[in-house]
Amino acid sequence: MSLAAEARKARGIATAVLLLPALVQFFPLFYLVCVSFKVGPEVIQYPPKLLPSSLSLENYRLALESAPLLRFLWNSLVVAVGITVCQVVTSILAAYALSRMEFRGKKVALGLIVATMLVPGEVTIIPNYFAMAALDWLNTYRALIAPYSASGFGVFLLYQFFRAIPKELEEAAIVDGASRMRFLFQFMVPLSAPAIMAFAIYAFVNAWNQYLWPLVVTQSTSMQTVQIGLGMFRSQNESTSWGVIMAATTLLVIPSVALFVATQKQFVRGITMAGLKG
Amino acid sequence: MKSRSLETAIVGWALVLPTLAVLGFFVFLPAGQSLYLSFQEVDPLARRHTFIGFSNYRNLLFSPDYWTSVWVTAKFAFVTVVAGVGLALALAVALDANPYARGLMRTVFLLPVSISSAMAAMLWIFLYNPTAGYLNFLLDLVGGQGPNWLGSSKWALTSVAITTIWKEMGFSIIFLLAGLAGVPNELKEAALVDGAGPVRRFWHVTLPILSPTLFFVTVVSVIHSFESFGQIHILTGGGPFGKTTTLVYNLYIDAFVNFRTGYASAQAVLLFLLMMAATAVQFRIANKRVHYG
């Protein structure tokens, strides 16, 4: 049997093997939406029916009434956009200097920046919390954004991309009278756009998904992000209705799913690049 | 010429400064402070510090709770890494063998990677409900008696691990798929000509070439499992009876619930050393076993 013939056979087996795991993998999302439509005692009836008896939006109405879900979404959006913009800008500037300019202490600066990738957030969280308390920044966007407004990974990644752009291009542009900054933003950034985009999406998703830090620095409901707000909502409403909790979860998970579907390619690219840093 | 290089230095440092300032203030400074605080007794409002030498470390190493969390973390890491990477490998091989299904299926497996650990926990929490959840209903159908998943001392950690594997598996699949794409067809052909069956070909051709990827994925999975927090906080809150209290969860409780700042800082320092050690050990093993083609 040739490799091609075997590949055909393998294809058939692979499909069969993949079907069940794919179903299992997708099931929690499907189940979530089903439960979110179940009203009243239907949620806890036994034996449970998978599909809801009606597509009632009652749970969604109750969820929106009893918790500031839109406020959570807004907070997450402000924080994630803030962090992403800051990280992209600071990383572009630093990566340009490190990849294109010769100056004393450059190696040390690069080394220090790269070293921060090895420090897990749990190691810094206690002093950072006290710093926020001392600045009176608890329960503010500043506390959520500032500690993440630069990224060792971002600098390292863009540093490598910028280095790959031929030096002659820059020399030519500068001879033509373009300033360094003009060259950076008119040539380097557009040329590295795919990498910057992938990094931006990676940074955004990470910021959106953060849990421990927002949990620690936001006590007031009005400042909580999606992740923290939903957890609180769950523990407050557990006794009342799972249907409402699942409706709230559905509403809050939609942006993540939508973003993933829309940017899957860049998202995967971002993850791959982040992985290759090690 | 001299003034030009001075100008370059000023501009260069000015461009690096924003990044260095943020990382200095929020990574290096607090990392040092954590080390400092680990030798201090701090009152709950963090107003007074008293130097107490290694007392925090000594108390930790004599604390049964701390050793319980070491054990919980080890079990959690072992299960999520072995089962997670194993499943990811099987699925990646299957996906690799089927280019037609790859697109859609890949999306299904990757989707959980993009949502947060907290959201993943919320997706699973009602499935685990012992009376109304669908999981125990399915077990009931096949004649099994489902456990009280999250409330059971025996099953709580497994439940958290299942959710974690569900969420993280796609991450490993991405890398393993990329690794599998790098296995040259000529090598497989050659092995085929030599009369090797699919299993032997996988074992002797694919796996050696895949080993650096497999190793990388394992390291990252171990680090991820050490850092797991959101799903534990939502699913079990570290319970029942500390059965899901990992090192990071223990740190969180001591730092932000019990306000034992010095004691928690010592845990942060040990956690850092542990993660470094785990990475170093894996690199050592890998240097001996992994085939870098």
- CATH code of the domain in which B177 resides: 1.10.3720.10
Residue A87: closest C-alpha in chain B: B19
Residue A49 is classified by DSSP as P
pLDDT of A6 reads: 74
pLDDT in tens, B172-195: 998 999 889 888 878 877 877 787
pLDDT in tens, A89-104: 999 999 999 998 888 8
Nearest by CB to residue A18, choosing from B33, B101, B124, is B101
Best A15, A26, A126 member to test B by mutation, with max B CBs in 10 Å, is A126
Measure A38 CA to nearest chain B CA, in Å.
12
Find chain B residues with C-beta within 8 A of A17's C-beta: 90, 94
Q: ipTM of the predicted structure? A: 0.90
| Helical (H) or strand (E) element with B279 | helix B261-289
Residue with the two structure tokens 């957890």: A231
Residue B66 forms contact with A (CB below 8 Å):
no
Q: What are phi and psi of B119, to 5 degrees?
A: -65, -40
Number of H helices, E strands in chain A: 14, 0
Residues 209-228 of B with CB under 8 A from A: 216, 219-220, 223, 226-227
Nearest by CB to residue A150, choosing from B18, B137, B174, is B18
Q: Indicate whether B110 belongs to any domain.
A: yes
Q: Indicate whether B19 belongs to any domain.
A: no
**pLDDT score of B293 more than 50:** no
When pLDDT is averaged across residues B47-56 and rounded to a whole number, the result is 87
Q: Based on C-alpha coordinates, what's the Rg of chain A?
A: 24
Burial class (CB in 10 A: 0-12, 13-18, 19+), B158: middle
| Helical (H) or strand (E) element with B40 | strand B40-42
Residue percentage of chain B with pLDDT more than 90: 54
More confident of the two residues B39 and A19? B39
Residue A151: closest C-alpha in chain B: B19
Question: Could you tell me how many CB contacts below 8 A there are between chain A and chain B?
Answer: 276
Residue A48 is classified by DSSP as P
* Partner-chain contact A209 B116, CB within 8 Å: yes
User: Which residue range is the domain that position B180 belongs to?
Assistant: 57-289
Neighbours of B171 (CB within 10 A): 22
* Partner-chain contact B105 A22, CB within 8 Å: yes
Nearest by CB to residue B22, choosing from A124, A127, A150, is A150
Q: What are phi and psi of B11, to 5 degrees?
A: -65, -45
User: Which residues does chain A have with pLDDT short of 50?
Assistant: 278
Q: Indicate whether B14 belongs to any domain.
A: no
pLDDT of A133 reads: 93
Residue with the two structure tokens 């910021």: A207
Position A220, amino acid: S
pLDDT of A1 reads: 56
Residue with the two structure tokens 């910028």: A162
**pLDDT score of B219 more than 70:** yes
* B187-205 b/e (C-beta count within 10 Å ≥ 16 → b): bbeebbeeebebeebbeeb
pLDDT of A179 reads: 81
Residues 6 or more apart in contact with residue A235 via CB below 8 angstroms: none
Residues 111-130 of B with CB under 8 A from A: 111-119, 122-127, 129
Residue B132 is classified by DSSP as T
Q: What is the dihedral of CA B83, B85, B91, B95, to 10 degrees?
A: 170
Which of these, A76, A50, A252, A270, lies nearest to B110 by C-alpha position?
A270
Residue B134 forms contact with A (CB below 8 Å):
yes
Tokens for A173? 């542009």
Find chain A residues with C-beta within 8 A of B30's C-beta: 123-128, 131
CA atoms A135, A139, A140, A141: torsion sign: positive
* Partner-chain contact B13 A230, CB within 8 Å: no
pLDDT of A278 reads: 41
pLDDT of A172 reads: 78
DSSP string, A92-158: HHHHHHHHH---TTHHHHHHHHHHGGGS-HHHHHHHHHHHHHHHT-TTSHHHHHGGGS--HHHHHHH
Q: Indicate whether B159 belongs to any domain.
A: yes
Do A79 and A145 contact (CB within 8 A), yes or no?
A: yes
Find chain A residues with C-beta within 8 A of B172's C-beta: none
Residue B105: closest C-alpha in chain A: A22
More confident of the two residues B145 and B245? B245
Residues 6 or more apart in contact with residue A211 via CB below 8 angstroms: A227, A228, B116, B117, B118, B229, B230, B233
Measure B224 CA to nearest chain A CA, in Å.
10
Measure B281 CA to nearest chain A CA, in Å.
15
- Please state the domain count of chain B: 1
Nearest by CB to residue B137, choosing from A48, A234, A272, is A48
Measure A276 CA to nearest chain B CA, in Å.
9
User: B40-42 and B49-51 as β-strands: parallel, antiparallel, unpaired?
Assistant: antiparallel
Instruction: For chain A, give every domain's residue range.
Output: 3-61, 69-276
pLDDT of B2 reads: 56
pLDDT of A15 reads: 79
Residue B143 forms contact with A (CB below 8 Å):
no
Residue A101 forms contact with B (CB below 8 Å):
yes
Residues 34-53 of A with CB under 8 A from B: 35, 43-48, 50
Neighbours of A125 (CB within 10 A): 24
Find chain B residues with C-beta within 8 A of A259's C-beta: 114
Q: What are phi and psi of B41, to 5 degrees?
A: -100, 125
Do A266 and A197 contact (CB within 8 A), yes or no?
A: yes
Residues 6 or more apart in contact with residue B215 via CB below 8 angstroms: B282, B286, B290
Residue B134: closest C-alpha in chain A: A48
* Partner-chain contact A271 B97, CB within 8 Å: no
Give the long-range contacts of residues B267-271, CB within 8 A, separation 24 or more: B267/B60, B267/B66, B268/A122, B268/A123, B268/A124, B268/A125, B268/A126, B268/B34, B268/B38, B269/A123, B269/B34, B269/B35, B269/B38, B270/B57, B270/B60, B271/A120, B271/A122, B271/A123, B271/B226, B271/B247
Nearest by CB to residue B131, choosing from A46, A122, A149, is A46
Residue with the two structure tokens 């969180």: B252
Lowest pLDDT segment from A169-173, B55-59, B138-142, B286-290: B286-290
Residues 192-251 of A with CB under 8 A from B: 205, 208-212, 215-216, 227-228, 230-231, 234, 242, 245-246, 249
**pLDDT score of B149 more than 80:** yes
Q: Indicate whether B4 belongs to any domain.
A: no
In chain B, the N- to C-terminal Cα span, in Å, equals 47
What confidence tier does B150 reach under pLDDT thresholds 50, 70, 90? very high
Find chain A residues with C-beta within 8 A of B216's C-beta: 275, 278
Alpha-carbon gap, residue B198 to B203, rounded angstroms: 9
Please state the pTM of the whole predicted model: 0.91
Tokens for B201? 């070909």
Measure B98 CA to nearest chain A CA, in Å.
5
Residue A153 forms contact with B (CB below 8 Å):
no
The Cα-based distances of A82 to A60, A266, B46, B103, B106 in angstroms read: 29, 20, 30, 33, 30
Number of H helices, E strands in chain B: 14, 2
Beta bridge mates, B41: B50
When pLDDT is averaged across residues B3-16 and rounded to a whole number, the result is 86
Nearest by CB to residue A122, choosing from B131, B178, B251, is B251
More confident of the two residues B45 and B120? B120
* Partner-chain contact A29 B111, CB within 8 Å: yes
Q: Which fold has domain A69-276?
A: MetI-like fold (1.10.3720)
Nearest by CB to residue B26, choosing from A2, A93, A128, is A128
